[in-house]
A and B are shown apart, each in its own frame.
Chain A
């Protein structure tokens, strides 16, 4: 009957595989269980916040404890802070939390844009965040971001507003952008890309000057390389991904 199977099931490799499978399925179900619990806690905390918002705002100790708990459960402190409106502290608190959000988004998108993001893109990303958008019905504006960035200056100039042409960008990398590179970025925003020839024609630069400025931008991930057989290489700005 199934004797062959019986013997083969005794081989240790098979057995350990089965144990592994069992183990991972147990882990998986535990994880799911924990996740639901977490969600329940999160909901409960938000409920609590809505009920006792004045208490949270007025009592320093309660506030600290509460935000510590929130952070431990993965609730965005921005949500907590900005939803308590109408109190004195709230606007600074809200700005502080917006700062955190800005830093978070800059870090998250760095692998795509090399650490330079346009003000508009940043704003869109903040406002499309489900917490901000659906749970709070908040819409931040450019001036909120500028205020937030002013606050951040105290911490050093990690985040900088860079104006290229008519557009503002936020730079979250330490590298300086040379004036050549600024021109390149500015130009690339017009058509989405630049080529060596475009630069040469427009700025009367030598090829080597164009190339070295571009190479640095590409290796930093700020410009994306676009190489197709039989075509001149183009260098794209990431702000055009959304167009």
Chain B
């Protein structure tokens, strides 16, 4: 609704406690990573130094340097393992956070589904159906009343026009009173509508007219109430 207006004033992403924890872990990882890089430089340098000592035949010194290098290499291994652990942890947390989001999404979806189901309770549907039936009956009687006031010839003309319109439009469209939920039932009833009045008029003509009128009035009152 008001979405368009609210999105023009941006709101920065919020930092949660989870975020802070992840940041700490990542910072830690960066730190270890930097020490690792530093160590790599040193090891690289030590190799050069050892080569130099070998060249100048200072074997003892060369050995010492290599020993140092060995130690640093195991340190390097350690660091790499640490980085790995940290990254695993970060990944797990991030994954869990996503899982949490998914769970939340599922929950929300479920809630909405329930609400929709409540909306569509059986009683409500029944009531709607009843209303629809009433409306159809009213329409029925209205047609009848109109029918009684028309002469046979006129009635035929109406029939003719209806048929022409039907042909023109292809199929009969549902009446505006009909509510969509129960289309099949309504259709069934609808189909019978145009047939009924014409039958009455041609066969029984005006005899029933008076009675019908009274009944119809009652019906109308009850509907208005």
Chain A residues packing against B (C-beta within 8 Å): 1-2, 5, 9
Contact = CB atoms under 8 A, between A and B. Distances in A.
B127 interface: no
B11 interface: yes
B56 interface: no
Contacts of A1: 14
Contacts of B9: 9
A7 to B, nearest CB: 13
Contacts of B11: 2, 5
A1 B14 CA distance: 7
A1 B12 CA distance: 10
Interface of B: 9, 11-12, 14
A21 to B, nearest CB: 11
7 contacts: A1-B14, A2-B11, A2-B12, A2-B14, A5-B11, A5-B12, A9-B9
Contacts, number: 7
For the complex, would chain B's binding face be called helix, strand, loop or mixed by DSSP majority?
Answer: loop
B13 to A, nearest CB: 9
A38 to B, nearest CB: 31
A contact face: mostly helix, strand, loop, or mixed: loop
A2 B10 CA distance: 11
A201 to B, nearest CB: 55
Contacts of B12: 2, 5
Contacts of A9: 9
A1 B11 CA distance: 10
Nearest to A6: B11
A183 to B, nearest CB: 61
A185 to B, nearest CB: 57
A2 B9 CA distance: 13
Nearest to B13: A2
B11 to A, nearest CB: 5
A2 B14 CA distance: 7
A1 B15 CA distance: 9
Contacts of A2: 11-12, 14
A12 to B, nearest CB: 15
B40 to A, nearest CB: 42
A157 B208 CA distance: 116
B89 to A, nearest CB: 28
Nearest to A2: B11
A162 B68 CA distance: 76
A95 B45 CA distance: 71
